[in-house]
Amino acid sequence: MYTDKVMEHFTSPKNVGELENADGEGRVGNPVCGDMMAMQIKVEDGVITDVKFRTFGCGAAIATSSIVTEMAKGMTLEEAEAITNEDVAEALGGLPTNKMHCSNLAADALHNAIEDYRRKAAGEDGEQ
């Protein structure tokens, strides 16, 4: 049911964990649907220099979380914001159709983290 690429990221996920002093953090999912992701980013000069995630969820949820961190690292915020959930699924060689909605939220988590960063940055700017 899962592609080799999905299984690769599921069994050896990249960038698991938490960042010290993250610049932005995003959360998506909920207990009812059974997939919950927390993603943190570090940003320098508008570029994502580090990403980490923690995920509670199925194979697709873990694999999408992992690959999106790899995709995002080194991207500008704008580039990262342009990643869609579909891009993530495609990068994994596809996902089962019933996994496309619930479990394919990693790009959303990343976008939330970027939004959080921008909000905080705006706040900091405001304070300066």
Partner 1 sequence: MRRIYLDHSATTPVHPRVAVVAMNYMMNDYGNSSSVHAPGRKAAEAMDEARARVAEFVGAEPREIIFTSGATEADNLAILGVAHAAGDRGNHIITTAVEHHAVLHTCDALEKEGFRITRLPVDAEGRVDPSAVEDAIDDDTILVSVMLANNEVGTLQPVAEIAEIARARGVTVHTDAVQVAGQLPVDLAELGVDLASFSGHKMYAPKGVGFLYVRRGTRLKAQMFGGHHERWLRAGTENVPGIVALGEACVLAQEEIDYVTAHLTSLRDRLIAGLEERIPDVFVNGHRTERLPGNVNVCIPGVEGEAMLLHLDMKGIAASSGSACTSGSLEASHVLLAMGIKHEIAHGSLRLTLGRDNTAAEIDYVLETLPPIVENLRAMSAWKPGDEMPFED
State the catalytic residues: 33, 102
Q: How far is CA 56 from CA 53, 62, 107, 125, in A?
A: 10, 8, 16, 34
Amino acid at 4: D
Report phi then psi at 53, rounded to 5: -140, 160
Is 12 one of the binding residues for partner 1 (CB under 8 A)?
no
Region of 7-15, 43-51, 69-77, 117-125 interacting with partner 1 (CB under 8 A): 7-15
**x/- map, 66-105, partner 1, by CB under 8 A:** ------------------------------x-xx-xxx--
- Of all helices (H) and strands (E), which one includes residue 101? none
Residues near 70 by beta carbon (within 8 Å), at least 6 away in sequence: 14, 15
70 close to 87: Cβ distance less than 8 angstroms: no
Is 59 one of the binding residues for partner 1 (CB under 8 A)?
yes
Is 14 one of the binding residues for partner 1 (CB under 8 A)?
no
Question: What is the smallest separation between the CB atom of 110 and partner 1, expressed in angstroms?
Answer: 14
Contact residues for partner 1 (CB under 8 A)? 1-2, 7, 10-11, 13, 16, 27, 29-38, 54-59, 61-62, 96, 98-99, 101-103
